[in-house]
Amino acid sequence: MSKDSVKLLNFWPSMFGLRVHYALDLKGVSYDYQEESLLNKSKELLEANPIYTKIPVLIHNGKPICESLVIVDYIDSVWPGSHKLLPEDPYEKAVARFWADFGDKKLYDAGNRLIRAMGEEHKKAGEDFKWALMKIDEALGTIAPGKPFFGGDAMNFADVGLAPFICWFKGYQKVGGFVLPGPEEWPNLHKWVDAVNSVDAIKKSTPSPDKVAEFAEVIRKRVLGAA
Amino acid sequence: MSKDSVKLLNFWPSMFGLRVHYALDLKGVSYDYQEERLLPNKSKELLEANPIYAKIPVLIHNGKPICESLIIVDYIDSVWPSPHKLLPEDPYEKAVARFWADFGDKKLFDAGSRLIRAMGEEHKKAGEDLKWALMKIDEALGTIAPGKPFFGGDAMNFADVALAPFICCFKAYQKVGGFVLPGPEEWPNLYKWVDAVNSVDAIKISTPSPDKVAEFAEVIRQRVIGTA
């Protein structure tokens, strides 16, 4: 039986790449890792993702899969047996997909503006970011009351979609110049953060929040310098 | 056996709502339709069904709301897998279909939106970006399903359902963009695909007239230019 060849092309601070790490690590899939320099993209990345030339890309037995949530969905289809991420029930599956997508539309979008915007737009980005986390706190209380994860007792597609933003909280607070509300205000969110951070598979690939914050500040200074 | 209650909240020019129409119509699912007036006020039902985004389309199935067009299409395909399965069984083919459906959001809708709302240089770039996106779809059709009419081969799949709603917007894009799209000599696969989509009976049920869509786009464009 020939061995599966699984390779992840990524850039270490990317929360999108981290989604792929999490899916593979939760399922115990072995893979090779290739760090990409985004200022000098490899020929392999350009050939694997000619439409967007972005990471992450998963290359499985020579075939490239692009776009983080498409990749996580793919991983769940190829390796369903270990730690299924998508619920079987169509409605629960739709809810999980919705919250994973919320990570892109609301969390990433606000975080990106926190790093790159100025003045009033920067202030609004901070408010939008906090609003998004508040919505996640509410959703956890509604979807899985009394449970640590969106998936109940174990991480599911929504958890994998959103968890990578946790290691960015420090960075966002630094560049945003605010402190996020604590467990008194967002009890479900903070319980969720603790639960995610306790999962062994998650610890494998999560970059240090200090390193991420340092990276975020470097980008922020560059933006301010060019403004 | 109690009857399924299926209702679509939508706004008729929305290509996102059209994706949901296409999925339901291809599968022959009966549903109620509720036109939402987005201005001046959204309906209480819409705000309750989609509190996070307050947007259409929303599918309400037996009282439960599902939001975000591609998630709705995925849901429809799970609840009514036959007839006309939209997502391929093979994981890689499924990933390819999801990728091109998503491309519709990231590149086609985005460029089209800027064609309607942007000015000057940004407006010109939006036109170039839209043409680039259509060229990429033409190339993809030739690679993924060579010699076949659809991304799904002989029948429309998830990628086709996601991208097809933009077809009725081509006239509108050209009008507000002030250009004429390249023809079949340049984009043979795309035009064969357009003809194939437009020949599907289920597609004809809900597709708004391209002239009406173009008229709507021009109204929005005039409003944007007026306030610029």
Report the 10 Å Cβ neighbour count for A225: 7
- pLDDT digit string, tens, across residues A162-208: 999 999 999 999 999 999 999 999 999 999 999 999 999 999 999 99
Interface test with B, best of A68, A69, A73 (most B CBs within 10 A): A73
Q: Once rounded to an integer, what is the mean pLDDT over residues B26-55?
A: 95
User: Would the ipTM clear 0.95, i.e. be above it?
Assistant: yes
Query: In this model, does residue B150 exceed pLDDT 80?
Result: yes
For residue A52, which residues of chain B lie inside 8 Å, CB to CB?
106
Both tokens of residue B196?
């194939």
Pick among A66, A91, A102 to test the B interface (most B CBs inside 10 A): A91
In chain A the first and final C-alpha atoms are separated, in Å, by 57
Residue A227 confidence class, pLDDT cut points 50, 70, 90: confident
Alpha helices, DSSP H only, in chain A?
15-26, 43-48, 68-78, 90-102, 109-116, 119-143, 157-162, 169-176, 187-198, 200-205, 209-226
Token pair in block for residue A127: 């408010």
Contact check, Cβ <8 Å, A73/B94: yes
pLDDT over 70 percentage in chain B: 99
Cβ of residue B52 closer than 8 Å to a chain A Cβ: yes
Average pLDDT over chain B reads: 96
Whether A129 shows a pLDDT value over 80: the answer reads yes
Is B76:B23 a contact under the CB 8 Å cutoff?
yes
Q: Do B95 and A101 touch (CB under 8 A)?
A: no
pLDDT score of B110 more than 50? yes
Is any Cβ of chain B less than 8 angstroms from the Cβ of A107?
A: no
Q: Tell which A residues from 83 to 102 touch B, by Cβ distance under 8 Å.
A: 90-91, 93-94, 97-98, 101-102
Looking at domain A90-225, its CATH class is mainly alpha
Q: Taking the domains of chain A in order of start, what are their residue ranges?
A: 6-78, 90-225
* Pairing of the two strands B32-35 and B58-61: unpaired
pLDDT band at A2 (very low <50, low <70, confident <90, very high): low
- Percentage of chain A lying above the pLDDT 90 cut: 96
Number of H helices, E strands in chain B: 11, 4
Query: Does the CB of A224 have a partner CB in chain B at under 8 Å?
Result: no
Closest by CA position to B203, among listed B59, B18, B12, B13:
B18
CB A133 within 8 A of CB A189: yes
- Which element (helix H / strand E) includes B172? helix B170-177
d(CA B160, CA B85): 12
Contact A94 B66 (CB under 8 A): yes
Scanning A10-49 for CB atoms below 8 A from B yields: none
Match 């969110």 to its residue by tokens: A189
Per-residue tokens: A1: 């039986």
Once rounded to an integer, what is the mean pLDDT over residues A5-25? 98
DSSP B209: P
Token pair 């995610």: residue: A196
pLDDT band at residue A1 under the 50/70/90 scheme: very low
B194-228 pLDDT, tens digit per residue, is 999 999 999 999 999 999 999 999 999 999 999 87
How much is the pLDDT for B62? Answer: 98
Which of B45, B36, B35, B32 lies closest to B4, judged by CA? B32
Least confident of A45-49, A50-54, B224-228: B224-228
pLDDT at B2 over 70: no
Which DSSP category does A151 fall into?
Answer: T
pLDDT at residue B65 in the model: 98
Answer whether B204 touches A (CB < 8 Å): no
Between strands B6-10 and B32-35, the pairing is parallel
Sign of CA dihedral A35, A41, A46, A50: positive
Q: What is the mean pLDDT of chain A?
A: 97
Class (C level, CATH) for A6-78? alpha beta
Beta strands A32-35; A6-10: pairing state: parallel
Note the pLDDT of residue A171: 97
* pLDDT higher than 80, residue B162: yes
Nearest C-alpha in B relative to A102 = B52
Residues of A in contact with B103 (CB under 8 A): 51
Interface contact B74-A93, CB threshold 8 A:
yes
Band of the pLDDT at B3, cuts 50, 70, 90?
confident
Measured from the Cβ of residue A78, the count of other Cβ atoms closer than 10 Å reads: 19
Element (H, E) at B90: none
- Quick one: tokens of A139? 């959703």
Mutate to test the interface with A, among B16, B27, B70, B71 (most CBs of A within 10 A): B71
Whole-number pLDDT of residue A222: 95
